[in-house]
A and B are shown apart, each in its own frame.
Chain A
Amino acid sequence: MTQAALARPGPAAALTVIAAGRRRYAMLVILGLIALCLALIFLGVGVGAVSIPPGRVAGILLARLTGGDAALDGREALVVLNIRLPRVLLGLLVGAGLAVSGALMQGLFRNPLADPGLVGVSAGAGLAAAATIVLGDRLLGGAAARLPFAVLPFGAFCGGLISTLLLYLIATRRGRTSVATMLLAGVALGALAGALTGLLAFISDDRQLRDLTFWSLGSLGGASWTKLAAVAPIILPLLFALPLLARGLNGLMLGEAEAFHLGVPVQRIKALAIVLVALAVGASVAAAGVIGFVGIVVPHLIRLALGPDHRLLLPLSALGGATLLVAADIVARLVVSPAELPLGIVTAAMGAPFFLWLLLRRAHVVEI
C-alpha cells in the first residue's frame, strides 16, 4: 500500500512541479520589475520640461563619467546632472525605503494595515515640520531665513526620531517590546501630534498654510546632490539589513512565542527593524515630504504576485517602491509642465485604482 502510494506520482511530486512553476513565475516577475525599473531610470533622466535629445543626454552623462568636457552646454548639463539625476536617484532611494519600511512594519505587527507611519515617524516628523514652517521665523529669527534649506528637513528628521523613541520606550517593559502596545500608543501619539499640527495650522498665515499643504503632499523637486549625500547613508543601512531581517520575520508570522522557540532572536529583530525604519522614513520625509501610499500598497502588490515569503518580499518591495516613485515623479513633472504636481497626488491617483482593480480581480480575500 505504502509502496504503491510512493510509486505513483503523489502529492509531493505535484508540489515540486508547482514549486518549479512558481519559481519560474517569480523569476519572470523579478526580471520584469528590474527591466521596468531600468527603463524608468533612463526615461526619468531623459525627459523633462527642458527638451534635450536622448543622444545629448547620453553625451552629457558620458562626458561626466570620463571626466569633464568643456564643450558641454552649461544649462543642458546642469539640467541633466544637477536636476534630473539627483532627482531620479532620490526617487529610487526614497521609494525603496518607504516600501521596505511598509513591508517590515506589516510583518512585524502582523497587520496588513501597518505602514511606516505606525512607529510614529510620520506624526512626529509632520509636527516638527509644521512647527518649523509656522514658528521657524519667530523662534530662530534671521537664522531660519538664511538656512531654510537645512532647518526644515533637519527638524522633520529629529521629530520623527524623537516620537519613535518615545513610542519604543512606552511599549518596552523588562526588555520586551509589545507590538500591540506600540500600535495603540502609536494611534494615541498620532492623534496628539495631529492636534498640535492643527493648532499650528490655526495660528499660521496664508503662506505658511500653503507651505504646510505642499509639504504634506510630498515632492522630489528639491533633490540635489547634497540632499542625496545626506539621505543615502541613513536609508541604505535599511536596505542592506534586509537579508538579516527576512528569516526572522518569516518566523514571526507564526507568532512571537513560536518564533522565539524556533530560535528567532525576536527582540533583536524588532529593535533593529524599528530603528532602521524610523531612520529611513525620517530621512525620506525630511528629503521629500510626506509621500503616502507607497509603503502600504507596494508590499501588498508583491504579496499578491509572489506570496508572503519575506526573503522575496523585502527586496522586491524595495525594487517595486523605487520603480513606482520614479514613475510617479516622471508623471508629476510632465503633466502640468512647466509647473509640477505634488508627488503624493500622483502616487495615490496612479496606485490606488490599480490596487483596487487587483483586489477586485482576485477570487479570494487577501491574507497577509
Chain B
Amino acid sequence: MPDRPELPFRKTARPDRREILAAVGLTLAAAAGFAGPGAIVGPVVAQKSDRIVALGGVVTEVLYALGLEDRIVGVDTTSQFPPEALRDKPGVGYVRALSVEGILSLRPSLVIAIEGAGPPDAIALLKEAGVRLVTIPEDLSEQGVAVRIAAIGAAAGASEPARRLAETVQAGFEELAALRARVVGKRRVLFALSLQNGRTMVGGANSTADAMIRLAGGVNAAAGVEGYKPMTDEAVIAAAPEVVLMMRNSSGHDATPEELFAMPAFSATPAAGARALVRMDGLYLLGFGPRAPLAARDLMAAFYPDAAIPALKTAAAP
C-alpha cells in the first residue's frame, strides 16, 4: 500500500487557519492535562518495507531473533524479551485489550498477532482498515515453537532465516531429548511462582513451567493441580519436591535458600535437606520461544548437578 503524500503541501504558503485552530485546540487539550507529548506524535521515519506491529511476546522475540527489529513500529506489553523492545518501541497495550486507533496511529502495514489477541472487534476493525493481519497459532509443544517461528518469518517475508532458526531450535530439542534419555532417577520439581504472604503459588499441569520441567527431565511435583494455583503448606509437603524452582527476582527480592527452607511448608520437603533451590530468569524460563531448548538444558544441568550435562551443540537464537 503506497504511503499517502504528507499533508502540508497546500495551495498557500501562509499558515492555514485549520492548522492554527488545531494548534490552539491541542494547546488547550495539553493544558487541561489531556495530551502528553506522546499523544500526538509526528510520523515515525519510514522504513523501506513493512511497518510491523508485533502483538505477543513470542512474535517480538522471534522478529528480534530474525534481525527484523528495525521494521517493528509497535509492540504489546507482553513483549518482554528482548528488554529493549518495550523500551525502544511504542507500546500498544495488553495484547487482549488493544486500542485500534492506537495501532493505526503507528501506520502499520502488517500486524502479526498471537492467537487470542483482541478484543475481536478491534481485530475486525484492523482488517477493515486494510492492515494485513497474520495470526500465529497457540501451541506449547516442541514442534509448536518451530511452527510459530516459521509462521512469523513467512508473514514478515523472511521465510529463509526463519526456517534456519526453526531448524536450529528443532535440533536443540532433539539434542535435549537425547540428554534427557540418559537421565536416571528423575527428580520431583516444584515450581513456585510466588510466595506471597507465605502462600505458595505453584505451576500445575498445562502450565509453561510444567512443560519446561518435563523438557528438562524432571517430574512436576504439582502435576495434580491445573495451571498456576495456590497450594496449601500440607499439599506442598505431600508433593515431596526434591528440587524447588523459582523465578529470579520475581517480586523485587529473592528469597535465600535459608529463608525458603525455613518456611514450614518447605522445611519438611526432601528439597530442604539438599538446599535444592534453582532460580532462573522468568522470561528465559517461561518464554517458550527460540530460547526454550537452551533454557531447558540449563534447567537440566541445575536439576542434576552430578550428571555433568554437556552444553547443546546447536545454540538456538541469541
- Residues of A at the B interface (CB closer than 8 Å) are 43, 46-51, 53-56, 73-75, 78-79, 82-84, 148-149, 202-203, 205-207, 210-211, 214, 219, 221-222, 224, 227, 330-331, 333-340, 342
- Tell me whether A214 and B97 are in contact in the complex, defined as CB-CB below 8 angstroms, given that A207-B116, A221-B119, A337-B38 are known contacts: yes
B227 CB contact (under 8 Å) in A48, A55, A206, A342:
A206
B266 in contact (CB, < 8 A): no
- Tell me whether A49 and B102 are in contact in the complex, defined as CB-CB below 8 angstroms, given that A54-B21, A221-B119 are known contacts: yes
Q: Please classify the interface of chain B as helix (H, G, I), strand (E, B), loop, or mixed, using the class held by over half of its residues.
A: loop
Number of B interface residues in the complex (CB < 8 A): 51
Q: A residues within 8 A CB of B92?
A: 338-339
In the bound complex, CA of A320 to CA of B101 (Å) = 26
A333 CB contact (under 8 Å) in B16, B90, B101:
B101
Q: Which of B120-128, B238-246, B293-301, B303-311 contacts A (4 or more CB under 8 A)?
A: B120-128
Q: B residues within 8 A CB of A210?
A: 94, 96
Are A51 and B105 in touch, CB under 8 angstroms? yes
Q: Which of B29-37, B248-256, B277-285 contacts A (4 or more CB under 8 A)?
A: B29-37
Q: A residues within 8 A CB of B116?
A: 207
Are B18 and A83 in touch, CB under 8 angstroms? no
- Residues of B at the A interface (CB closer than 8 Å) are 4, 7, 16, 18-19, 21-22, 25-26, 29, 33-36, 38-41, 74, 77, 90-94, 96-106, 116, 118-122, 124-125, 128-130, 226-229
Q: A residues within 8 A CB of B26?
A: 47
Q: Which 6 A-B pairs have the closest CB atoms?
A: A338-B102, A339-B93, A55-B18, A49-B105, A340-B99, A50-B105
A211 CB contact (under 8 Å) in B96, B105, B130:
B96
In the bound complex, CA of A54 to CA of B130 (Å) = 23
Q: Please classify the interface of chain A as helix (H, G, I), strand (E, B), loop, or mixed, using the class held by over half of its residues.
A: helix
B130 CB contact (under 8 Å) in A74, A79, A219:
A74
Are A338 and B106 in touch, CB under 8 angstroms? yes
In the bound complex, CA of A204 to CA of B121 (Å) = 23
- Tell me whether A338 and B128 are in contact in the complex, defined as CB-CB below 8 angstroms, given that A49-B39, A54-B21 are known contacts: no
Q: A residues within 8 A CB of B21?
A: 54-55
Are B96 and A330 in touch, CB under 8 angstroms? no
Are A75 and B129 in touch, CB under 8 angstroms? yes
* Smallest CB gap from A211: residue in B: B96
* Smallest CB gap from A206: residue in B: B228
Are A78 and B125 in touch, CB under 8 angstroms? yes
Are B90 and A338 in touch, CB under 8 angstroms? yes
Q: A residues within 8 A CB of B125?
A: 78, 82-83, 224
Are B128 and A82 in touch, CB under 8 angstroms? yes
* Chain B nearest Cβ from A53, distance in angstroms: 5
A sample of 16 more A-B contacts (CB under 8 A), given A206-B228, A224-B125, is A49-B39, A50-B104, A55-B18, A55-B22, A56-B7, A74-B129, A78-B125, A79-B101, A83-B100, A149-B124, A210-B96, A227-B121, A331-B34, A337-B40, A338-B91, A340-B102
